[in-house]
Amino acid sequence: MTTTTTPSAGSGPALPFAPSVPSAPSVLAVRAVDPAVHRALLVRDDAGRPPVRSVDETGGAPLRCCLTRARAGERIALLSYAPLRRWAAETGAEPGPYDELGPVFVHDGPCEGPAGPGWPAGFHRGERVLRAYDRRGHILGGVLVGPDAAEAGAAALLADPEVAVVHVRAVDFGCFMHEVRRG
């Protein structure tokens, strides 16, 4: 988990379903795939299959274990991950049909997670979908933002007391990038 301090909601993007609140949370907890979970997923992923291992010849694969981009020639693994299921197990939520499984890249070997706290610099390229979930794990809504507005957008969504967690997702493939909670 990493944390980052963000500006108030008024300085971020206008979000169509976010309530009018005086200010957004000042600290966000940005969460990559936990190192212990990462190790387990390298044996069997959340779909019960072994990961697909490869070498990222050109570099750039978004690694969800440390929220960085793979370097050219780095060994990576593609596997199925159920982020809401993992969050629900930790919090006692019951997402029901909102529980979903999707592909993510991770290091094909040990990774201790992000190098430091804060929003993952250089990780996001292009637009992102921010998906807000309530304490049950049900989707409250989502918003499309540019890469420079994702952090402020997540903070604005989390300013709504009904929002328990935000998932940041890629637009092009819809893949889970990372989770954001209140710090």
d(CA 183, CA 180): 9
**Residue 131 to residue 150: CA distance in whole angstroms:** 11
- Alpha-carbon torsion (20, 21, 26, 27), positive or negative: negative
Q: Any residues with CB less than 8 A from the CB of 33 and at least 6 apart, and which?
A: 41, 64, 65, 81, 104, 106
Amino acid at 79: L
**pTM summary value:** 0.86
Domain count, the chain: 1
Phi first, then psi, for residue 39 (nearest 5°) are -60, -45
Extract the runs of DSSP E, i.e. beta strands, from 32-81: 52-56, 62-63, 68-69, 74-81
Instruction: Give the model confidence (pLDDT) of 19-28 as tens digits.
Output: 444 355 568 9
Domain that holds residue 52: 2-182
Of residues 163 and 122, more confidently modeled: 163
Q: Which of 139, 147, 135, 125 has its CA nearest to residue 167?
A: 139
Q: Give me the pLDDT at residue 40, please.
A: 97
pLDDT bracket for residue 49 (50, 70, 90): very high
Please answer whether residues 125 and 11 qualify as being in contact, where contact means their C-beta atoms are separated by less than 8 angstroms: no
For residue 144, what is the enclosing H or E element? strand 139-145
Summary count for the chain: helices (H), strands (E): 3, 11
Which residue type occupies 181? R
Cβ–Cβ < 8 Å for 157, 116: no
Instruction: For 51-77, write each residue's pLDDT tens digit.
Output: 999 999 999 999 999 999 999 999 999
